[in-house]
């Protein structure tokens, strides 16, 4: 059988799902794309057994329908190096040999029987929610950086989706900082929580970026299915229980600091150059309307100190932070100024935008370093 | 010929004058000119003097003397609680200056350095080089420093002590014997009150007299130390300058009184080691980013296994990792005779708090147990999970 397709159209669709393909896997068949050739339709699938992505495009087919596994690396490479031209792909139904023919070229490679490609779970017993794709993209951009990469904290390796009738909430934390991004403009009748792995979200972010279409999220106990148009991502959910984050967000924070975001970020960047390269620890000394940010690296006798004007309502205090953690949080703020709500030097500091965007509610939290752990 | 080599070496000994006091005076200029006495954590009469100014030394005060006695000897003295963080910091700055300029140096203590300048004399006067280093330290830190420049570590150190405070001296090879000879025997490093008394009883006051005694006689009187003493009096010392290296790991090991196969018991030992080592890290303001354990079976087969972690000084995090490593490494059904825990990749820093573990009293508890240890010793308190009833 054969089919005709434009090389750049095929490449574009394959690139959409190529991120899933593992470079080495115990099950070598998953290093292939699955081509399901139907009547004038080509469905492409990639999987690493945890995550599967699927997309469909229209092609001109001739001959019987079939399933074929195509070596991912090889096919991507040839398509990337072809100009945008129509190509014909001919498959030998007996031995799965593949021949790609262009106007003045011919490329042969070996495929495999598509029947050996792992089965993709079906979406059964699912509940669904719809939202514009760009809202999920923003939620991922704003939240995922705070997720943990520590394999001993499996739940924190993912991002929590928490749906209620008050809104949808996305949470990521590594126990040192936390982001809670809430959309109050989307509500769900049946409350549910599930945790989606980081890799799946990064793939979603890349493939949905710039899309304004409506995204459907379907979920059951084990899997989540994200679909836009004819592209689908499904992933196994993280089964470990997500930590009870709401209870650790301090509510009584009598000290409130308001400071221009850009200045704080550039000061932190400069001071951080002189901090210890492993720990990035800096000291905030707040006295009246003066914020002094300083650091020292005893090993190299490096030191830095800067003073910033701020609006501060509360008791003078000293508190330590990991500047790298804090910078990521500060950079995440979209307003001109940000608000830091502090209680004591050993409790979480809350970072908020000066004003919330419409439909959004964003809260971030950074845990301090104990500057005086020794002398107490 | 060994004798040949030693007169050709150029060894500089640098010593910061009354280092702790000098740092205190930098931070608190009002202390200038006063007899300053620095104590430990508490200035109670039970503490000891950790340093004192030259003014206080005139009253007979010296380090390691009980505070109570210092108060008696020098009632008008200014007693200061030591700010040890600051001393560490200034020591680091001086170390940095020395390391930037020196070909090979050894940090002998917090305020003492040896630099091997052998070979540099061909290009540059070693005395001039040393003077410039001294000037640079004074200029960049404001701390007074003295140096002695001679043919080996012993003579250079004696020379530094001779010209302190804020002095400098060069003792070239041919002047070593007369220079040492003019000193009293107590100026030789290692000669304390006891040795001095014994030498005095033999009628020896001056190093010159010591130089003239045959070495055998000293060996007969003092044993092995007698020979060393004779060498020092002659200005002989072949000890090399050992390059300075920051301590990059700390560890504990324990050989069991009785070999065991009980993982629960080994876990208890690991917990206790983690508890002690984490306290040691916290008390020096450091964190560790690598944890490893070691076990030795009764047939002496030894296994180690380690893991990178986020920089920490939290004993609970460490014992979780240590226990996990033990589980991975303790696979043979053979008794274990030794177990050890090592923390490496050390860096300066404080504990990063954890959102889910450090809420509640955990942090205060650690601060409180640290205070108890500071005061009563590190073994008086610890986690029950590291407690062994036989102790």
Is A151 near chain B, with CB under 8 Å?
Answer: no
For residue B346, what is the nearest residue in chain A, using CA coordinates?
A: A278
CATH code where residue B192 lies: 1.10.150.20
List chain A residues with CB under 8 Å of B367.
372-373, 376
Work out the percent of chain A whose per-residue pLDDT is above 90. 78
How close B79 comes to chain A (CA, Å)?
A: 20
For residue A301, what is the nearest residue in chain B, using CA coordinates?
A: B93
Return residues 216-255 of A near B (CB < 8 Å).
243, 245, 248
How close B355 comes to chain A (CA, Å)?
A: 5
> Per-residue pLDDT tens for B183-225?
998 888 888 888 888 888 888 888 998 888 888 888 888 888 8
Banded pLDDT at B45 (limits 50, 70, 90): low
- Beta carbons of A342 and A257 less than 8 angstroms apart: yes
Give the residue-averaged pLDDT of A259-272. Answer: 96
Q: Is pLDDT at A298 greater than 80 in this prediction?
A: no
Question: Residue A376: its pLDDT value, please?
Answer: 35
For residue A178, what is the nearest residue in chain B, using CA coordinates?
A: B355
List chain A residues with CB under 8 Å of B365.
none
State whether B159 and B25 are in the same domain.
yes
Least confident of A27-36, B265-274, B336-345, B350-359: B350-359
List chain B residues with CB under 8 Å of A243.
356
CB contact under 8 A, B349 and A373: no
How close A47 comes to chain B (CA, Å)?
A: 31
For residue B247, what is the nearest residue in chain A, using CA coordinates?
A: A299
Domain A249-366 has CATH 3.10.150.10: yes
CB contact under 8 A, B347 and A276: yes
State whether B154 and B211 are in the same domain.
no
List chain B residues with CB under 8 Å of A346.
353, 358, 363-364
Instruction: Give the CA angle between residues B259, B263, B269 to the nearest 5°.
Output: 75
Full-model pTM: 0.65
| Beta strands, E only, chain B | 11-16, 36-39, 51-52, 78-81, 105-109, 112-116, 145-150, 168-170, 249-260, 286-297, 302-312, 336-348
What is the residue whose two structure tokens read 């990639």? A46
Banded pLDDT at B302 (limits 50, 70, 90): confident
Is A367 near chain B, with CB under 8 Å?
Answer: yes
Is residue B34 assigned to a domain? yes
List chain B residues with CB under 8 Å of A281.
349-350
Residues in chain B: 391
Question: Residue B42: its pLDDT value, please?
Answer: 60
> Per-residue pLDDT tens for A311-357?
999 999 999 999 999 999 999 999 999 999 999 888 899 999 999 99
Work out the percent of chain B whose per-residue pLDDT is above 70. 94
Question: Residue B1: its pLDDT value, please?
Answer: 37
Banded pLDDT at B46 (limits 50, 70, 90): low
CA-to-CA separations, B70 to B50, B193, B231, in angstroms, rounded: 11, 19, 36
CB contact under 8 A, B96 and A176: no
Task: Choose the mutation target among A148, A282, A301 for the interface with B, i.e. most B CBs under 10 Å.
Answer: A301
State whether B187 and B158 are in the same domain.
no
What is the secondary structure of B269-305 as a DSSP string? HHHHHHHHHHHHHHHTTEEEEEEEEEEEETT--EEEE
Is B96 near chain A, with CB under 8 Å?
Answer: yes
How close A161 comes to chain B (CA, Å)?
A: 19
Q: Is pLDDT at B5 greater than 80 in this prediction?
A: no
Is A369 near chain B, with CB under 8 Å?
Answer: yes
- Beta carbons of B117 and B101 less than 8 angstroms apart: no
- The residue among B386, B384, B371 whose CA lies nearest residue B283 is B371
B106 is catalytic: no
Q: B116, B140, B171 — which closes off a domain?
A: B171
Q: Is pLDDT at B298 greater than 60 in this prediction?
A: yes
Name the pairing type of β-strands A112-113 and A66-71. Answer: antiparallel
Question: Residue B156: its pLDDT value, please?
Answer: 94
For residue A237, the 8-state DSSP code is P
State whether B229 and B329 are in the same domain.
no
**Of the candidates B92, B357, B359, which has its C-beta nearest A299's C-beta?**
B92
CATH code where residue B381 lies: 3.30.1490.100
Rounded Cα distance between A291 and A310, Å, is 6
Exposure string of B129-168, with b = 16+ CB inside 10 Å and e = fewer, is bbeebbebbeeebebbbbbbbbbbbbbbbbbbbbebeebb
3-state secondary structure string, B207-258? HHHHHHCCHHHHHHHHCHHHHHHHHHHHCCCCCCCCCCCCCCEEEEEEEEEE
Rounded Cα distance between B245 and B93, Å, is 15
How close B118 comes to chain A (CA, Å)?
A: 26
Domain count, chain B: 3
CB contact under 8 A, B352 and A373: no
Banded pLDDT at B248 (limits 50, 70, 90): confident
Work out the percent of chain B whose per-residue pLDDT is above 90. 30
What is the secondary structure of A87-138 as a DSSP string? EEEEE-TTT-EEEEEETTEEEEEE-EEGGGSPPPPP--S-EEEEEEHHHHHH
Q: What is the CATH number of domain A2-116?
A: 3.10.150.10
How close A248 comes to chain B (CA, Å)?
A: 7
User: For all residues of chain B together, what is the average pLDDT?
Assistant: 86
Structure tokens at A144: 């995922």
State whether B262 and B332 are in the same domain.
yes
Return residues 319-338 of A near B (CB < 8 Å).
320, 322
Q: Is pLDDT at B246 greater than 60 in this prediction?
A: no
Q: Is pLDDT at B245 greater than 70 in this prediction?
A: no
CB contact under 8 A, A248 and B357: no
State whether B57 and B129 are in the same domain.
yes
State whether B58 and B135 are in the same domain.
yes
CB contact under 8 A, B363 and A248: no
CB contact under 8 A, A248 and B310: no
> Per-residue pLDDT tens for B133-177?
999 999 888 899 999 999 999 999 999 999 988 899 999 888 999
Is B366 near chain A, with CB under 8 Å?
Answer: yes
Helix (H) or strand (E) holding B326: helix B315-329
Q: Is pLDDT at B3 greater than 50 in this prediction?
A: no
Banded pLDDT at B125 (limits 50, 70, 90): confident
The architecture in CATH of the region A127-246 reads: Roll (3.10)
State whether B255 and B382 are in the same domain.
yes
Is B313 near chain A, with CB under 8 Å?
Answer: yes
For residue A371, what is the nearest residue in chain B, using CA coordinates?
A: B350
Is residue B243 assigned to a domain? no
State whether B166 and B28 are in the same domain.
yes
Strand order in the sheet with B112-116: B105-109, B112-116, B11-16, B145-150, B168-170
State whether B78 and B187 are in the same domain.
no
Question: Residue B2: its pLDDT value, please?
Answer: 40
Work out the percent of chain A whose per-residue pLDDT is above 70. 99
What is the residue whose two structure tokens read 């047939």? B299
Q: Which domain holds residue B265?
A: 249-386
Which position has the higher pLDDT, B389 or A93?
Answer: A93
Banded pLDDT at A374 (limits 50, 70, 90): very low
State whether B133 and B64 are in the same domain.
yes
Structure tokens at A362: 């964003």
> Per-residue pLDDT tens for B108-120?
888 899 999 888 7
Question: Residue B44: its pLDDT value, please?
Answer: 66
- Beta carbons of B154 and B237 less than 8 angstroms apart: yes
- Beta carbons of B76 and B35 less than 8 angstroms apart: yes
State whether B150 and B258 are in the same domain.
no
Cis, peptide link before residue B205, omega less than 30° from 0: no
CB contact under 8 A, A276 and B349: yes
Domain limits, CATH 3.10.150.10, in chain A: 2-116, 127-246, 249-366
CB contact under 8 A, B347 and A322: no
For residue B316, the 8-state DSSP code is H
Phi, psi for A157 (deg, rounded to 5)? -70, -15
CB contact under 8 A, A178 and B355: yes
For residue B102, the 8-state DSSP code is -
CATH code where residue B32 lies: 3.30.70.270
Residue pairs between chains A and B whose CB atoms are closer than 8 Å: 96
Is A176 near chain B, with CB under 8 Å?
Answer: yes
Give the active site residue among B55, B96, B100, B112.
Answer: B112
- Beta carbons of B335 and A153 less than 8 angstroms apart: no
How close B22 comes to chain A (CA, Å)?
A: 18
List chain A residues with CB under 8 Å of B279.
none
Give the residue-averaged pLDDT of A137-147. Answer: 95
């Amino acid at each position: 059988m054969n089919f005709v397709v434009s090389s750049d159209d095929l490449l574009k669709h394959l690139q959409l799902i190529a991120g899933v393909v593992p470079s080495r896997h115990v099950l070598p068949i998953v290093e292939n794309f699955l081509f399901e050739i139907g009547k004038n339709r080509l469905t492409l699938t990639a999987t690493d057994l945890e995550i599967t992505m699927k997309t469909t495009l229209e092609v001109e087919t001739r001959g019987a329908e079939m399933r074929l596994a195509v070596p991912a690396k090889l096919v991507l490479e040839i398509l990337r190096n072809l100009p945008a031209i129509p190509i014909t792909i001919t498959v030998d139904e007996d031995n799965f040999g593949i021949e790609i023919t262009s106007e003045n070229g011919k490329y042969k490679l070996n495929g495999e029987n598509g029947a050996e490609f792992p089965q993709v779970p079906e979406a059964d017993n699912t509940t669904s929610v719809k939202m514009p794709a760009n809202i999920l993209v923003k939620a991922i951009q704003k939240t995922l950086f705070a997720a943990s990469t520590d394999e001993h904290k499996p739940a924190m390796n993912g991002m929590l989706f928490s749906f209620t009738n008050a809104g949808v909430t996305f949470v990521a934390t590594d126990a040192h900082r936390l982001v809670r991004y809430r959309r109050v403009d989307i509500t769900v009748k049946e409350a549910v929580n599930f945790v989606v792995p980081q890799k799946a979200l990064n793939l979603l972010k890349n493939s949905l970026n710039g899309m304004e279409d409506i995204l459907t999220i379907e979920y059951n106990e084990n899997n989540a299915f994200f679909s836009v148009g004819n592209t689908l991502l499904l992933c196994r959910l993280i089964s470990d229980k997500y930590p009870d984050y709401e209870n650790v967000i301090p509510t009584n924070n009598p000290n409130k600091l308001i400071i221009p975001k850009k200045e704080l970020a550039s000061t932190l960047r400069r001071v951080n150059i002189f901090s210890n390269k492993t720990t990035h620890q800096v000291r905030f000394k707040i006295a009246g309307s003066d914020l002094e940010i300083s650091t020292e690296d005893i090993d190299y006798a490096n030191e830095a100190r800067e003073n910033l004007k701020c609006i501060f309502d509360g008791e003078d205090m000293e508190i330590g932070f990991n500047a790298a953690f804090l910078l990521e949080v500060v950079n995440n703020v979209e307003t001109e100024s940000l608000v830091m709500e502090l209680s004591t030097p050993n409790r979480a500091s809350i970072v908020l935008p000066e004003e919330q965007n419409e439909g959004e509610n964003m809260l971030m939290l950074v845990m301090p370093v104990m500057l005086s752990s020794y002398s107490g | 010929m060994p004798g040949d080599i030693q007169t050709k070496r150029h060894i500089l000994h640098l010593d910061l004058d009354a280092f702790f006091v000098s740092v205190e005076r930098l931070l608190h200029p009002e202390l200038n000119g006063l007899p300053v006495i620095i104590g430990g954590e508490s200035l109670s009469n039970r503490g000891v003097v950790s340093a004192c100014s030259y003014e206080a030394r005139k009253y007979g005060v010296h380090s390691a003397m009980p505070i109570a006695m210092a108060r008696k000897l020098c009632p008008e003295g200014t007693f200061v609680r030591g700010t040890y963080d600051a001393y560490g910091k200034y020591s680091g700055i001086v170390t940095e200056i020395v390391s930037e300029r020196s070909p090979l140096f050894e940090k002998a203590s917090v305020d003492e350095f040896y630099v091997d300048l052998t070979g540099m004399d061909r290009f540059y006067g070693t005395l001039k080089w040393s003077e410039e280093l001294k000037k640079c330290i004074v200029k960049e830190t404001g701390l007074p420093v003295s140096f002695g420049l001679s043919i080996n570590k012993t003579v250079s150190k004696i020379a530094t002590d001779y010209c302190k405070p804020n002095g400098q001296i060069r003792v070239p090879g041919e002047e070593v014997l007369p220079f040492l000879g003019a000193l009293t025997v107590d100026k030789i490093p290692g000669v304390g009150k006891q040795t001095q008394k014994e030498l005095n009883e033999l009628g020896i006051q001056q190093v010159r007299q010591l130089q003239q005694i045959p070495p055998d006689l000293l060996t007969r009187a003092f044993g092995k130390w007698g020979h060393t003493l004779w060498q020092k009096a002659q200005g002989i010392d072949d000890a090399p300058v050992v390059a300075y290296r920051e301590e990059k790991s700390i560890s504990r090991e324990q050989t069991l009184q009785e070999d065991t196969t009980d993982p629960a018991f080994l876990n208890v030992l690991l917990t206790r080691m983690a508890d002690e080592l984490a306290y040691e890290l916290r008390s020096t303001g450091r964190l560790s980013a690598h944890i490893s354990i070691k076990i030795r079976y009764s047939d002496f087969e030894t296994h180690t296994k380690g893991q990178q972690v986020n920089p920490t000084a939290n004993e609970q995090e460490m014992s979780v990792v240590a226990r996990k490593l033990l589980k991975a490494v303790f696979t043979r059904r053979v008794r274990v005779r030794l177990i050890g825990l090592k923390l490496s990749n050390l860096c300066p820093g404080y504990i990063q708090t954890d959102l889910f573990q450090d809420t509640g009293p955990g942090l205060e508890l650690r601060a409180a147990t640290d205070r108890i240890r500071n005061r009563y010793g590190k073994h008086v308190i610890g986690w029950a999970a590291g407690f062994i009833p036989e102790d």
